[in-house]
Amino acid sequence: MKNLSLALATFVLFFFTENAIFAQAPNLGSAASFILFTSVGAITNTGIAQITGDVGSNSGAGTGFGNVNGVMHSGNGTTALC
């Protein structure tokens, strides 16, 4: 009987509670399309990298990125929204 009560309590706890108690991903808004982004300073690549996605910096330049399958943003309206 005790095992049945424990199983029932576990069922109620996991299936009838709100999802707010579980971890959820934050809403990134306009920053969701960026794979690399910094709001303070420059962003630099020092090696060989193949990056798929947008790269941006709000207050500095992005240097050293040779293979970017996306858009390089540097201090424009898109980075200001992020």
Report pLDDT for 18.
65
Report pLDDT for 9.
81
Report pLDDT for 30.
82
| DSSP bridge pairs for 57 | 38, 74
Q: Which residues of the chain have pLDDT under 70?
A: 17-22
Q: pTM here?
A: 0.58
Report pLDDT for 69.
84
Report pLDDT for 17.
66
What is d(CA 20, CA 17) in angstroms, rounded to the nearest whole number? 8
Residue 45 CA, distance from chain mean position: 20
Q: Number of structural domains, the chain?
A: 1
Range of the structural domain that residue 19 is part of: 2-81
